[in-house]
């Protein structure tokens, strides 16, 4: 309260506002009165120009994405005030907020439209959209969190074992391949049955995370494509293992659609008592 009968205020945004004044006498009794103020946008004011990108724009479920509307612009006297994001899968919208980015995870497959709404200080807004495509996960046991189903050591030398051990790249578990023999042996992680039983034309992105107890061994990631029993294409990639998790990836281009892809990751001539850990295997198309 104040003794002066006037007060000033500046409205930053367009809209209709109600001003309330309360008057109190020396006996403590009071009453109120109201008046409306209409604020219009400045002459020539335009809505923002909304823009949005989503990264990644495609991938397998569950797919974590980031929507980025920082490319939106508003060059007049009423700058951008807020951003809102609708990820198109029925989940609650994010915002309005001052941050130009928002994250979301899609749990089911489909094609989704992400809508960003950008509003300026005059209350004017515009929208922009981007699409996200979520495909089924081709590897159905990528991180060994419950068991070793879908994996074996076929192609390894004798005395090579596979075990599910605590301590994963992203979860609580990983697979450990160990040469339990007394001589150097090949330790090979093999998918069984093959995760990709029938290929489509195009590229397959294949990856896994790996580490070792001792640095220095070479890990090879290999995809062999078979049309029936005929090997039609092989794609490989290699890294030198360290004690920290590293991702190894490759892109395999289908040579004969309808074929089968055989996945393997291996260390040749692993010393006795050594091997490697594997986790978060992924194949996407």
Q: What is the CATH number of the domain that holds 171?
A: 2.60.120.260
Mean pLDDT value of segment 31-59: 87
The helix/strand/coil state of 275 is strand
Q: What is the spatial distance between Cα 154 and Cα 257, in angstroms, rounded to a whole number?
A: 25
Question: Rounded to whole angstroms, how far apart are CA atoms 262 and 98?
Answer: 48
What is the 3-state secondary structure of 74-135? CCCCCCEEEEEEECCCCCCCEEEECCCEEEEEECCCEEEEEEEEEEECCCCEEEEEEEEEEE
185 and 254 together in one domain: yes
Peptide bond preceding 62: is omega within 30 degrees of 0, i.e. cis?
Answer: yes
Residue at 142 is within a domain: no
User: 119-154: per-residue pLDDT in tens?
Assistant: 998 889 999 999 999 987 889 899 999 999 999 999
- Of 81, 106, 135, the residue at which a domain comes to its end is 135
Q: Are residues 168 and 272 in the same domain?
A: yes
Q: Answer yes or no: do 117 and 62 share one domain.
A: yes
| Residue 231: pLDDT over 80 | yes
Q: pLDDT at residue 63 above 70?
A: yes
Residue 42: pLDDT band with limits 50, 70, 90: low
Same domain? For 119 and 239 the reply is no
As a whole number of angstroms, the distance between CA 241 and CA 227 comes to 32
Looking at the structure, tell me whether residues 122 and 221 fall in a common domain: no
Range from 84-88, 89-93, 130-134, 137-141 carrying the lowest mean pLDDT: 137-141
Report the distance separating Cα 280 and Cα 285, nearest Å: 16
What is the reported pLDDT for 61? 79
- Determine the pLDDT at residue 273: 94
Residue 193 has pLDDT above 80, yes or no: yes
* Of 63, 70, 69, nearest in space to 89 by CA: 63
Question: Is 41's pLDDT higher than 80?
Answer: no
Last residue of a domain, one of 110, 135, 160: 135
164 pLDDT more than 70? yes
For 63-89, give one letter per residue: b (16+ CB within 10 A) or e: bebebbbeebebeeebebbbbbbbbbb
CA distances for 81 relative to 115, 126, 235, angstroms:
17, 12, 50
User: Domain total for the chain?
Assistant: 2
Q: Residue 106: its pLDDT value, please? A: 92
Q: Does one domain contain both 83 and 127?
A: yes
Are residues 115 and 199 both part of a single domain?
A: no
Average pLDDT over residues 37-64: 85
In a domain, 146, yes or no: no
Q: What is the mean pLDDT of the chain?
A: 93
Spatial CA neighbour of 280 closest among 151, 142, 168, 137: 142
Torsional class of 172: left (φ above 0), alpha (ψ -120 to 50), beta (otherwise): alpha
Query: Does 222 score more than 90 pLDDT?
Result: yes
Question: Cα(115)–Cα(67) distance, rounded to whole angstroms?
Answer: 9
pLDDT above 90 for 163: yes
Closest CA to 149 of 160, 158, 140, 157: 140
Q: If you average pLDDT over residues 86-114, what whole number do you get?
A: 95
Per-residue pLDDT band for 44 (boundaries 50, 70, 90) equals low
Give the per-residue pLDDT at 259: 97
Nearest-5° Cα angle at 111, 107 to 114: 85
Domain that holds residue 206: 151-284
Same domain, 160 and 268: yes
Residue 285, pLDDT > 90, answer no
Cβ-in-10-Å burial (0-12, 13-18, 19+) of 96 comes to middle
Contact between 187 and 179 under an 8 Å Cβ cutoff? The reply is: yes
Confidence of residue 43 (pLDDT cuts 50, 70, 90): low
Residues 158 and 276 in one domain: yes
Mean pLDDT in residue range 254-270 = 96
CA 142, CA 149: separation in Å to the nearest integer? 10
């Amino acid at each position: 309260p104040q003794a002066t009968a006037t007060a000033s205020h500046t409205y930053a945004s367009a809209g209709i506002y109600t001003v309330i004044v309360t008057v109190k006498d020396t006996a403590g009794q009071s009453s109120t009165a109201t008046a409306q103020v209409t604020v219009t946008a400045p002459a020539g004011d335009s809505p923002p120009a909304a823009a949005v990108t989503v990264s990644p724009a495609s991938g397998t479920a569950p797919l974590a994405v980031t929507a980025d509307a920082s490319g939106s612009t508003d060059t007049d006297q009423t700058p951008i005030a807020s951003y809102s994001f609708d990820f198109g899968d029925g989940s609650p919208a994010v915002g309005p907020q001052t941050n130009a980015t928002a994250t979301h995870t899609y749990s089911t497959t489909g094609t989704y439209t992400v809508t960003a709404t950008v509003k300026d200080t005059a209350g004017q807004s515009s929208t922009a959209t981007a699409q996200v495509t979520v495909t089924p996960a081709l590897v159905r046991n990528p991180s060994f969190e419950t068991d070793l189903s879908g994996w074996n050591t076929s192609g390894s030398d004798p005395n090579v074992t596979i075990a599910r051990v605590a301590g994963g790249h992203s979860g609580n578990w990983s697979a450990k391949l160990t040469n339990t023999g007394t001589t150097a042996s090949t330790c090979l992680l093999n998918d069984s049955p093959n995760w990709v039983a029938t290929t489509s034309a195009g590229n397959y992105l294949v990856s896994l995370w790996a580490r070792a107890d001792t640095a220095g061994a070479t890990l090879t990631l290999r995809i062999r494509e078979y049309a029936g029993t005929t090997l039609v294409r092989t794609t490989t990639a290699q890294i030198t293992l360290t004690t920290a998790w590293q991702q190894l990836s490759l892109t395999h281009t289908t040579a004969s659609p309808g074929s089968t892809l055989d996945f393997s990751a291996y260390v040749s001539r692993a010393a006795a008592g050594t091997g490697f850990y594997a986790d978060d295997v992924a194949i996407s198309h």
